Amino acid sequence: MTDCGRADCPLARPAPAHLEDGLAVHVCPACGARRSPDAAITQRAVLPDAEAQTPGAMRLLFRLREAWLRRTIPELANMGARILDCGAGDGQWLEWLAQRGWQRLAAMETNPDRLARARARGLAAFPSLAEAAATQEGGRFDIIFLWHVLEHVDRPVALVGELLDLLAPGGVLVVSQPNRTSLQTRLFGRRSAFVSYGHHLWFLDHASFAKLADSFPGVSIAALPDCNVEYEAFGWLDTLVSAALGEDNLLHATLKKGRVRGGRKWAVLALALLALPLAALLVPIALTIPKMGSTLTYCLRPQPSGPAR
């Protein structure tokens, strides 16, 4: 059985799975995290995106992400910051940052196909953290992004520890991932866009992050405000379409991965257009109610006065 990487993680000991929304999960009695019993999920590659170039719609979403992060992460004001994107996928986010003026960028991606895509964008992309760190002065970074990665890895807490060790003094680790207890998930269960059962190993919430403080004394762990319009808007559209057609992640599979074609593709897109007014209503509701956003984003900053890691 896979544990999260905490020294005392109860999931290191065998426990029976039980059903939630028709899904089999193991529940951690310490932090409430859910884990799929299918450990083979970590061996399933996340496919590259359908288009080698970043579509215009995604560029708009990146613009929204950048504006949100600039408001909430002061370290991004430094255009000379050493930035690592861990689990960079096709490298689209780092490419956006490069085009916006940040220059000291590195990507880490273990999927060979996606790594090749990132390199084709002209990025310094590497298959391991050690290789990425070796490119930076002192082997450290000022900002590390871990963007929707934790839910895919064997031992998420252990990975967080590795990345904290790669931060320069005054650095920040920015972690974003699906919120298991979001309004989307409460209303639509497994059809919620970010549950992605069969692709995600871990299902975490704010309580899971609160427990991180036990593993990392001397590290400030603070949630960013629920203003991730990028994920919230697309997530609601994907959820509404998936719930209507009875298949998970249909809009994502259509627009981003190119796996839905022909007449079914046009049916998905037509339904997404019809769902736009309802999604536009639900997005501000979810972002207004505390802890109901579809994603959760935290900044982890080692404190100078804290104990050395």
Q: Which domains does the chain have, with CATH numbers?
A: 10-224+291-302 (3.40.50.150)
Q: What is the pLDDT of residue 31?
A: 78
Q: What is the pLDDT of residue 79?
A: 95
Q: What is the pLDDT of residue 236?
A: 94
Which segments in the chain show pLDDT lower than 70?
1-3, 5, 10-16, 18-19, 22, 42-55, 257, 305-309
CA torsion 262-267-273-274 (nearest 10°) is 170
Q: What is the pLDDT of residue 110?
A: 94
Cβ within 8 Å of residue 305, ≥6 positions away: 218
Q: What is the pLDDT of residue 252?
A: 81
Helix (H, G, I), strand (E, B) or coil at 300: strand
- pTM attached to this predicted model: 0.89
Helix (H, G, I), strand (E, B) or coil at 295: strand
Q: DSSP for 18-30, please give it.
A: EEETTEEEEE-TT
Q: What is the pLDDT of residue 9?
A: 75
Q: What is the pLDDT of residue 154?
A: 87
Q: Which residue type does 180 have?
A: R
Q: What is the distance in angstroms between the CA of the first residue and the CA of the last residue of the chain?
A: 27
Q: What is the pLDDT of residue 99?
A: 95
